[in-house]
Protein backbone atom coordinates (compact mmCIF):
# COMPACT_ATOMS: atom_id res chain seq x y z
CA UNK A 1 0.00 0.00 0.00
CA UNK A 2 1.04 3.61 -0.44
CA UNK A 3 -0.38 6.95 0.55
CA UNK A 4 0.72 10.55 0.78
CA UNK A 5 0.12 11.04 4.51
CA UNK A 6 -0.07 8.11 6.94
CA UNK A 7 -1.99 9.12 10.06
CA UNK A 8 -1.55 7.19 13.31
CA UNK A 9 -4.61 7.63 15.58
CA UNK A 10 -8.29 8.18 14.74
CA UNK A 11 -9.19 10.49 17.63
CA UNK A 12 -10.16 14.12 17.01
CA UNK A 13 -6.67 15.17 15.82
CA UNK A 14 -6.25 12.29 13.34
CA UNK A 15 -9.77 12.54 11.90
CA UNK A 16 -9.67 16.34 11.60
CA UNK A 17 -6.36 16.11 9.74
CA UNK A 18 -7.64 13.35 7.44
CA UNK A 19 -10.67 15.50 6.59
CA UNK A 20 -8.63 18.67 5.92
CA UNK A 21 -6.27 16.71 3.66
CA UNK A 22 -9.12 14.88 1.91
CA UNK A 23 -10.83 18.17 1.08
CA UNK A 24 -7.54 19.43 -0.41
CA UNK A 25 -7.20 16.32 -2.58
CA UNK A 26 -4.36 14.77 -0.57
CA UNK A 27 -4.50 11.01 0.12
CA UNK A 28 -4.34 9.79 3.68
CA UNK A 29 -4.82 6.49 5.50
CA UNK A 30 -5.72 6.46 9.21
CA UNK A 31 -4.58 3.60 11.48
CA UNK A 32 -6.58 3.41 14.73
CA UNK A 33 -6.06 0.87 17.49
CA UNK A 34 -9.66 0.88 18.80
CA UNK A 35 -12.97 -0.21 17.30
CA UNK A 36 -15.48 2.32 15.91
CA UNK A 37 -17.97 1.42 18.68
CA UNK A 38 -15.42 2.21 21.37
CA UNK A 39 -14.50 5.55 19.79
CA UNK A 40 -18.10 6.64 19.31
CA UNK A 41 -18.84 6.08 23.01
CA UNK A 42 -15.66 7.63 24.48
CA UNK A 43 -16.55 10.62 26.68
CA UNK A 44 -13.96 13.32 27.23
CA UNK A 45 -13.88 17.05 26.52
CA UNK A 46 -16.86 19.34 26.35
CA UNK A 47 -15.80 22.95 25.91
CA UNK A 48 -14.79 24.35 22.52
CA UNK A 49 -13.15 27.63 21.60
CA UNK A 50 -14.66 29.55 18.70
CA UNK A 51 -11.56 28.71 16.59
CA UNK A 52 -12.33 24.99 16.97
CA UNK A 53 -16.00 25.55 16.08
CA UNK A 54 -14.91 27.54 13.00
CA UNK A 55 -12.60 24.72 11.91
CA UNK A 56 -15.40 22.14 12.21
CA UNK A 57 -17.69 24.39 10.17
CA UNK A 58 -14.98 24.96 7.54
CA UNK A 59 -14.63 21.22 6.94
CA UNK A 60 -18.37 20.67 6.65
CA UNK A 61 -19.01 18.85 9.93
CA UNK A 62 -20.66 21.73 11.79
CA UNK A 63 -24.36 21.19 11.00
CA UNK A 64 -25.33 19.19 14.11
CA UNK A 65 -22.92 21.23 16.21
CA UNK A 66 -24.71 24.43 15.15
CA UNK A 67 -28.10 22.94 16.05
CA UNK A 68 -27.20 21.32 19.35
CA UNK A 69 -24.43 23.37 20.90
CA UNK A 70 -24.87 25.60 23.93
CA UNK A 71 -23.21 29.00 23.73
CA UNK A 72 -21.86 30.43 26.99
CA UNK A 73 -21.03 34.12 27.33
CA UNK A 74 -19.66 33.79 30.86
CA UNK A 75 -18.18 31.47 33.47
CA UNK A 76 -18.25 31.48 37.28
CA UNK A 77 -15.61 31.05 39.94
CA UNK A 78 -16.82 30.14 43.44
CA UNK A 79 -14.62 30.43 46.54
CA UNK A 80 -14.95 31.37 50.21
CA UNK A 81 -18.74 31.04 49.94
CA UNK A 82 -19.00 33.62 47.13
CA UNK A 83 -19.76 33.27 43.41
CA UNK A 84 -18.14 35.59 40.88
CA UNK A 85 -19.08 35.67 37.20
CA UNK A 86 -16.53 36.49 34.50
CA UNK A 87 -18.30 38.04 31.51
CA UNK A 88 -16.27 36.41 28.72
CA UNK A 89 -18.24 38.08 25.94
CA UNK A 90 -17.99 41.61 27.33
CA UNK A 91 -14.30 41.26 28.18
CA UNK A 92 -12.99 39.36 25.16
CA UNK A 93 -15.70 39.74 22.51
CA UNK A 94 -15.98 35.94 22.30
CA UNK A 95 -18.10 33.13 23.73
CA UNK A 96 -17.36 29.43 24.24
CA UNK A 97 -19.31 26.40 23.04
CA UNK A 98 -20.47 23.34 24.94
CA UNK A 99 -20.55 20.29 22.63
CA UNK A 100 -19.18 16.90 23.66
CA UNK A 101 -16.04 15.39 22.20
CA UNK A 102 -18.02 12.17 21.67
CA UNK A 103 -20.37 14.12 19.37
CA UNK A 104 -17.43 15.56 17.40
CA UNK A 105 -15.93 12.08 17.11
CA UNK A 106 -19.26 10.78 15.75
CA UNK A 107 -19.68 13.71 13.33
CA UNK A 108 -16.14 13.20 11.99
CA UNK A 109 -16.57 9.43 11.65
CA UNK A 110 -19.87 9.93 9.76
CA UNK A 111 -18.21 12.45 7.40
CA UNK A 112 -15.33 10.06 6.71
CA UNK A 113 -17.68 7.16 6.10
CA UNK A 114 -19.57 9.27 3.54
CA UNK A 115 -16.31 10.40 1.90
CA UNK A 116 -14.87 6.88 1.83
CA UNK A 117 -11.67 7.81 3.70
CA UNK A 118 -9.59 4.69 4.32
CA UNK A 119 -9.61 4.22 8.10
CA UNK A 120 -8.29 0.96 9.51
CA UNK A 121 -9.91 0.35 12.90
CA UNK A 122 -8.59 -2.25 15.35
CA UNK A 123 -5.12 -1.95 13.78
CA UNK A 124 -2.64 -3.84 16.00
CA UNK A 125 1.06 -3.29 16.67
CA UNK A 126 1.37 -0.10 14.62
CA UNK A 127 5.03 0.85 14.14
CA UNK A 128 6.84 3.69 12.35
CA UNK A 129 9.96 3.22 10.20
CA UNK A 130 12.43 5.24 8.12
CA UNK A 131 11.40 8.60 9.57
CA UNK A 132 14.59 10.43 8.59
CA UNK A 133 14.71 8.93 5.06
CA UNK A 134 12.84 9.89 1.87
CA UNK A 135 10.05 7.34 2.24
CA UNK A 136 8.92 6.49 5.77
CA UNK A 137 6.49 3.64 6.25
CA UNK A 138 3.94 2.34 8.69
CA UNK A 139 3.52 -1.29 9.63
CA UNK A 140 0.56 -2.87 11.42
CA UNK A 141 -1.24 -6.16 11.90
CA UNK A 142 -4.88 -6.90 11.36
CA UNK A 143 -6.71 -10.21 11.21
CA UNK A 144 -3.44 -12.09 11.79
CA UNK A 145 -1.81 -10.45 8.72
CA UNK A 146 1.01 -7.93 8.56
CA UNK A 147 0.61 -4.81 6.37
CA UNK A 148 3.00 -2.11 5.23
CA UNK A 149 2.13 1.41 4.01
CA UNK A 150 4.73 3.57 2.24
CA UNK A 151 4.11 7.28 2.94
CA UNK A 152 5.52 10.69 2.04
CA UNK A 153 4.85 11.89 5.59
CA UNK A 154 3.54 10.44 8.85
CA UNK A 155 1.31 12.34 11.28
CA UNK A 156 1.49 11.08 14.87
CA UNK A 157 -2.01 11.79 16.22
CA UNK A 158 -2.12 8.83 18.59
CA UNK A 159 -2.52 10.63 21.91
CA UNK A 160 -0.36 10.60 25.02
CA UNK A 161 0.04 6.80 25.22
CA UNK A 162 0.65 6.31 21.49
CA UNK A 163 3.70 4.94 19.66
CA UNK A 164 4.57 7.91 17.44
CA UNK A 165 6.34 10.06 20.01
CA UNK A 166 8.23 6.97 21.20
CA UNK A 167 9.56 6.44 17.65
CA UNK A 168 11.64 9.62 18.06
CA UNK A 169 15.10 8.88 19.53
CA UNK A 170 15.25 10.03 23.18
CA UNK A 171 18.36 12.13 22.56
CA UNK A 172 16.39 14.23 20.04
CA UNK A 173 13.36 14.90 22.29
CA UNK A 174 13.22 17.35 25.16
CA UNK A 175 10.47 16.54 27.66
CA UNK A 176 8.95 19.10 30.03
CA UNK A 177 6.61 17.61 32.58
CA UNK A 178 4.68 18.36 35.75
CA UNK A 179 2.57 15.75 37.50
CA UNK A 180 -0.07 17.00 39.97
CA UNK A 181 -0.81 15.25 43.26
CA UNK A 182 -4.48 14.75 42.36
CA UNK A 183 -6.87 13.60 39.64
CA UNK A 184 -10.43 14.35 38.51
CA UNK A 185 -13.30 11.99 39.21
CA UNK A 186 -15.92 12.75 36.55
CA UNK A 187 -19.51 11.65 36.18
CA UNK A 188 -22.10 12.12 33.49
CA UNK A 189 -25.79 12.01 34.38
CA UNK A 190 -29.12 12.48 32.67
CA UNK A 191 -30.05 15.46 34.88
CA UNK A 192 -30.49 19.18 34.15
CA UNK A 193 -27.31 21.21 34.83
CA UNK A 194 -27.25 22.97 38.20
CA UNK A 195 -26.39 26.31 36.56
CA UNK A 196 -26.76 27.71 33.03
CA UNK A 197 -23.00 28.41 32.93
CA UNK A 198 -19.96 26.48 34.25
CA UNK A 199 -18.89 26.91 37.88
CA UNK A 200 -15.26 26.30 38.90
CA UNK A 201 -15.33 25.80 42.69
CA UNK A 202 -12.35 26.19 44.99
CA UNK A 203 -13.41 24.59 48.29
CA UNK A 204 -11.45 23.42 51.32
CA UNK A 205 -12.55 19.84 50.57
CA UNK A 206 -11.08 20.20 47.06
CA UNK A 207 -11.92 21.53 43.61
CA UNK A 208 -15.25 20.80 41.91
CA UNK A 209 -16.43 21.68 38.40
CA UNK A 210 -20.05 21.90 37.30
CA UNK A 211 -20.34 21.54 33.54
CA UNK A 212 -22.80 20.00 31.09
CA UNK A 213 -23.36 18.39 27.73
CA UNK A 214 -26.89 19.67 27.08
CA UNK A 215 -29.87 21.13 28.94
CA UNK A 216 -30.74 17.63 30.15
CA UNK A 217 -27.28 16.11 30.63
CA UNK A 218 -24.78 17.20 33.29
CA UNK A 219 -21.09 16.55 33.78
CA UNK A 220 -19.48 17.08 37.18
CA UNK A 221 -15.88 16.65 38.29
CA UNK A 222 -14.34 16.34 41.77
CA UNK A 223 -10.69 16.73 42.71
CA UNK A 224 -9.61 13.40 44.24
CA UNK A 225 -6.25 11.87 45.08
CA UNK A 226 -4.27 10.71 42.04
CA UNK A 227 -4.56 7.03 43.12
CA UNK A 228 -8.34 7.16 43.71
CA UNK A 229 -10.36 4.24 42.29
CA UNK A 230 -13.71 5.23 40.73
CA UNK A 231 -15.12 1.89 41.93
CA UNK A 232 -14.97 3.25 45.49
CA UNK A 233 -17.39 6.02 44.58
CA UNK A 234 -21.06 5.10 44.64
CA UNK A 235 -23.34 7.69 43.01
CA UNK A 236 -24.56 8.67 46.49
CA UNK A 237 -21.05 9.27 47.73
CA UNK A 238 -20.29 11.41 44.67
CA UNK A 239 -23.41 13.59 44.99
CA UNK A 240 -22.91 14.09 48.73
CA UNK A 241 -19.29 15.14 48.24
CA UNK A 242 -20.21 17.45 45.35
CA UNK A 243 -22.93 19.15 47.42
CA UNK A 244 -20.41 19.68 50.20
CA UNK A 245 -18.11 21.58 47.83
CA UNK A 246 -20.71 23.84 46.15
CA UNK A 247 -21.93 27.20 47.47
CA UNK A 248 -25.10 26.49 49.54
CA UNK A 249 -27.52 28.16 47.07
CA UNK A 250 -26.12 26.03 44.24
CA UNK A 251 -26.05 22.82 46.30
CA UNK A 252 -29.71 23.39 47.24
CA UNK A 253 -30.84 23.17 43.60
CA UNK A 254 -28.55 20.35 42.45
CA UNK A 255 -30.61 17.65 40.75
CA UNK A 256 -29.04 14.21 41.24
CA UNK A 257 -29.63 10.95 39.39
CA UNK A 258 -27.93 7.74 38.29
CA UNK A 259 -24.52 8.20 36.64
CA UNK A 260 -24.05 7.05 33.05
CA UNK A 261 -20.26 7.14 33.30
CA UNK A 262 -17.77 7.51 36.12
CA UNK A 263 -13.97 7.61 35.79
CA UNK A 264 -10.80 9.14 37.23
CA UNK A 265 -8.34 11.10 35.05
CA UNK A 266 -4.86 11.99 36.35
CA UNK A 267 -3.69 15.60 35.94
CA UNK A 268 -0.48 16.28 34.07
CA UNK A 269 1.32 19.03 32.16
CA UNK A 270 3.61 17.63 29.45
CA UNK A 271 5.36 18.98 26.34
CA UNK A 272 7.65 17.07 23.95
CA UNK A 273 9.87 19.25 21.76
CA UNK A 274 10.32 19.41 18.83
CA UNK A 275 7.01 18.28 17.35
CA UNK A 276 8.77 17.07 14.20
CA UNK A 277 11.39 14.44 13.52
CA UNK A 278 12.35 13.97 9.86
CA UNK A 279 9.09 13.12 8.08
CA UNK A 280 7.11 12.53 11.29
CA UNK A 281 4.93 15.34 12.64
CA UNK A 282 3.28 15.05 16.07
CA UNK A 283 -0.10 16.70 16.72
CA UNK A 284 -2.43 16.93 19.73
CA UNK A 285 -2.02 14.86 22.89
CA UNK A 286 0.81 12.86 21.22
CA UNK A 287 2.97 15.96 21.71
CA UNK A 288 1.44 17.69 24.73
CA UNK A 289 -0.95 17.20 27.64
CA UNK A 290 -2.54 19.93 29.74
CA UNK A 291 -4.42 19.50 33.01
CA UNK A 292 -8.13 19.75 32.04
CA UNK A 293 -8.89 22.83 34.16
CA UNK A 294 -8.53 25.29 31.27
CA UNK A 295 -10.37 23.01 28.78
CA UNK A 296 -7.51 23.40 26.31
CA UNK A 297 -6.54 19.84 25.24
CA UNK A 298 -8.92 19.28 22.34
CA UNK A 299 -8.69 22.91 21.27
CA UNK A 300 -4.89 22.70 21.08
CA UNK A 301 -5.13 19.46 19.10
CA UNK A 302 -7.41 21.25 16.59
CA UNK A 303 -4.97 24.17 16.31
CA UNK A 304 -1.98 21.85 15.66
CA UNK A 305 -3.89 20.05 12.95
CA UNK A 306 -4.93 23.29 11.29
CA UNK A 307 -1.25 24.33 11.04
CA UNK A 308 -0.13 20.87 9.90
CA UNK A 309 -2.76 20.65 7.17
CA UNK A 310 -1.82 24.14 5.91
CA UNK A 311 1.85 23.12 5.77
CA UNK A 312 1.16 19.82 3.96
CA UNK A 313 -1.18 21.49 1.46
CA UNK A 314 1.48 24.18 0.77
CA UNK A 315 4.07 21.45 0.23
CA UNK A 316 1.92 19.53 -2.27
CA UNK A 317 0.67 22.66 -4.08
CA UNK A 318 3.90 24.66 -4.31
CA UNK A 319 6.73 22.31 -3.35
CA UNK A 320 7.70 24.71 -0.57
CA UNK A 321 8.87 23.18 2.72
CA UNK A 322 8.77 26.50 4.55
CA UNK A 323 5.58 25.85 6.53
CA UNK A 324 6.56 22.26 7.30
CA UNK A 325 9.91 23.51 8.58
CA UNK A 326 8.18 26.10 10.77
CA UNK A 327 5.47 23.72 12.05
CA UNK A 328 6.99 22.78 15.40
CA UNK A 329 8.02 26.32 16.35
CA UNK A 330 4.63 27.74 15.36
CA UNK A 331 2.66 25.13 17.32
CA UNK A 332 4.87 25.29 20.39
CA UNK A 333 4.48 29.06 20.74
CA UNK A 334 0.73 28.55 21.17
CA UNK A 335 1.07 25.30 23.12
CA UNK A 336 3.21 26.96 25.80
CA UNK A 337 0.71 29.78 26.28
CA UNK A 338 -2.06 27.22 26.78
CA UNK A 339 0.23 25.24 29.09
CA UNK A 340 0.82 28.31 31.18
CA UNK A 341 -2.89 29.08 31.38
CA UNK A 342 -3.90 25.48 32.25
CA UNK A 343 -1.25 25.27 34.97
CA UNK A 344 -2.33 28.67 36.33
CA UNK A 345 -6.06 27.79 36.33
CA UNK A 346 -5.21 24.52 38.08
CA UNK A 347 -3.07 26.33 40.69
CA UNK A 348 -5.81 28.91 41.27
CA UNK A 349 -8.72 26.51 41.73
CA UNK A 350 -7.35 23.33 43.36
CA UNK A 351 -6.36 22.50 46.93
CA UNK A 352 -2.72 21.36 46.97
CA UNK A 353 -2.16 18.85 49.79
CA UNK A 354 1.27 20.29 50.62
CA UNK A 355 0.31 24.01 50.41
CA UNK A 356 1.57 26.04 53.37
CA UNK A 357 -0.84 28.38 55.23
CA UNK A 358 0.94 31.25 53.45
CA UNK A 359 0.36 29.71 50.01
CA UNK A 360 -3.28 29.07 50.83
CA UNK A 361 -3.83 32.72 51.84
CA UNK A 362 -2.01 33.91 48.70
CA UNK A 363 -4.28 31.68 46.57
CA UNK A 364 -7.35 33.20 48.23
CA UNK A 365 -6.02 36.69 47.57
CA UNK A 366 -5.36 35.84 43.93
CA UNK A 367 -8.94 34.58 43.49
CA UNK A 368 -10.25 37.78 45.08
CA UNK A 369 -7.98 39.91 42.86
CA UNK A 370 -8.69 38.10 39.58
CA UNK A 371 -12.45 38.22 40.07
CA UNK A 372 -12.63 41.83 41.21
CA UNK A 373 -10.16 43.57 38.89
CA UNK A 374 -11.15 44.23 35.28
CA UNK A 375 -7.55 43.54 34.22
CA UNK A 376 -7.58 40.23 36.13
CA UNK A 377 -10.90 39.17 34.64
CA UNK A 378 -9.72 40.12 31.14
CA UNK A 379 -6.58 37.98 31.50
CA UNK A 380 -8.69 34.98 32.43
CA UNK A 381 -11.30 35.68 29.73
CA UNK A 382 -8.93 36.11 26.78
CA UNK A 383 -7.10 32.87 27.57
CA UNK A 384 -10.27 30.91 28.36
CA UNK A 385 -11.98 31.77 25.05
CA UNK A 386 -8.76 30.92 23.15
CA UNK A 387 -5.76 32.95 22.07
CA UNK A 388 -5.44 34.03 18.42
CA UNK A 389 -3.91 31.59 15.92
CA UNK A 390 -1.25 33.83 14.35
P1 LIG B 1 -6.79 11.24 21.56
O2 LIG B 1 -8.18 11.73 21.71
O3 LIG B 1 -6.14 10.56 22.70
O4 LIG B 1 -6.77 10.27 20.28
C5 LIG B 1 -5.67 9.45 20.00
C6 LIG B 1 -6.14 8.23 19.23
O7 LIG B 1 -5.04 7.40 18.90
C8 LIG B 1 -7.09 7.37 20.06
O9 LIG B 1 -8.25 7.10 19.31
C10 LIG B 1 -6.29 6.13 20.35
O11 LIG B 1 -7.11 4.96 20.44
C12 LIG B 1 -5.37 6.05 19.16
N13 LIG B 1 -4.12 5.33 19.42
C14 LIG B 1 -3.36 5.35 20.55
N15 LIG B 1 -2.30 4.55 20.41
C16 LIG B 1 -2.38 4.02 19.17
C17 LIG B 1 -1.56 3.11 18.45
N18 LIG B 1 -0.46 2.57 19.00
N19 LIG B 1 -1.92 2.77 17.20
C20 LIG B 1 -3.04 3.31 16.63
N21 LIG B 1 -3.86 4.17 17.28
C22 LIG B 1 -3.52 4.53 18.53
N23 LIG B 1 -9.99 19.25 26.08
C24 LIG B 1 -10.65 20.39 25.74
O25 LIG B 1 -10.23 21.06 24.78
N26 LIG B 1 -11.78 20.83 26.40
C27 LIG B 1 -12.27 20.14 27.47
O28 LIG B 1 -13.31 20.52 28.02
C29 LIG B 1 -11.56 18.96 27.90
N30 LIG B 1 -12.00 18.25 28.96
C31 LIG B 1 -11.36 17.09 29.27
C32 LIG B 1 -11.84 16.38 30.36
C33 LIG B 1 -11.22 15.18 30.71
C34 LIG B 1 -11.72 14.44 31.91
C35 LIG B 1 -10.12 14.66 29.94
C36 LIG B 1 -9.46 13.35 30.28
C37 LIG B 1 -9.66 15.36 28.85
C38 LIG B 1 -10.25 16.57 28.51
N39 LIG B 1 -9.79 17.32 27.43
C40 LIG B 1 -10.42 18.51 27.13
C41 LIG B 1 -8.66 16.85 26.63
C42 LIG B 1 -9.05 16.18 25.29
O43 LIG B 1 -9.94 15.12 25.54
C44 LIG B 1 -7.80 15.69 24.56
O45 LIG B 1 -6.86 16.72 24.51
C46 LIG B 1 -8.13 15.23 23.11
O47 LIG B 1 -8.80 14.00 23.13
C48 LIG B 1 -6.85 15.09 22.27
O49 LIG B 1 -7.16 14.57 21.00
P50 LIG B 1 -6.09 13.69 20.21
O51 LIG B 1 -6.76 13.28 18.95
O52 LIG B 1 -4.80 14.43 20.16
O53 LIG B 1 -5.79 12.43 21.15
C1 LIG C 1 -15.30 20.43 30.67
C2 LIG C 1 -14.07 19.97 31.04
C3 LIG C 1 -13.12 20.86 31.46
O4 LIG C 1 -11.90 20.44 31.80
C5 LIG C 1 -13.39 22.22 31.54
O6 LIG C 1 -12.45 23.07 31.99
C7 LIG C 1 -14.60 22.68 31.14
C8 LIG C 1 -15.57 21.78 30.70
C9 LIG C 1 -16.34 19.49 30.26
O10 LIG C 1 -16.09 18.27 30.29
O11 LIG C 1 -17.45 19.93 29.92
Question: pLDDT tens digit string along 342-369?
Answer: 999 999 999 999 999 999 999 999 999 9
Are the C-beta atoms of residues 259 and 239 closer than 8 Å to each other?
no
Q: Residue 316 belongs to what H/E stretch?
A: helix 297-318
Q: In terms of Cα–Cα distance, which of 349, 337, 351, 350 is closest to 388? A: 337
Rounded average pLDDT over 68-87: 97
N residues, the chain: 390
Tell me if 342 CB under 6 Å of ligand 2: no
Q: How far does the centroid of ligand 2 lie from the alpha carbon of residue 107, in Å? A: 20
| CA atoms of 368 and 362, how far apart (whole Å) | 10
Predicted TM-score (pTM) of the model is 0.97
| CA atoms of 196 and 192, how far apart (whole Å) | 9
Q: Which bound ligand lies closest to the C-alpha atom of 298?
A: 1
Residue 72: phi, psi to the nearest 5?
-115, 125
Cα separation values, 235 from 67, 191, 230, 262, Å = 31, 13, 10, 9
Digit-coded pLDDT (tens) for 287-304: 999 999 999 999 999 999
Q: How far does the centroid of ligand 2 lie from the alpha carbon of residue 150, in Å? A: 39
* DSSP string across 14-60: HHHHHHHHHHTT--EEEE-SS-HHHHHH-----EE-HHHHHHHHHTT
Q: Which bound ligand lies closest to the C-alpha atom of 17?
A: 1
Confidence label for 172 from pLDDT (cuts 50, 70 and 90): very high
Q: How far does the centroid of ligand 1 lie from the alpha carbon of residue 384, in Å? A: 19
Tell me if 298 CB under 6 Å of ligand 2: no
Amino acid sequence: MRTQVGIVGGGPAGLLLARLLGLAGIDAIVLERRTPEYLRARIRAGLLEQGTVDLLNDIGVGARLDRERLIHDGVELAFDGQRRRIDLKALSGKSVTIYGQAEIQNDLMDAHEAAGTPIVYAAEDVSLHGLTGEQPHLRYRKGGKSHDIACDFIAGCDGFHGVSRQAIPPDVLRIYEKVYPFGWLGILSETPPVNHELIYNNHERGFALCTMRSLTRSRYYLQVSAEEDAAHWSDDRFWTELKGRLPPDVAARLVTGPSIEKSVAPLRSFVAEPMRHGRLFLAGDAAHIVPPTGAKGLNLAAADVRFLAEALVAHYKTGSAQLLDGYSTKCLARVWKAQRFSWWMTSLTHRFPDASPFERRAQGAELAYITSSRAGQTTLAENYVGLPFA
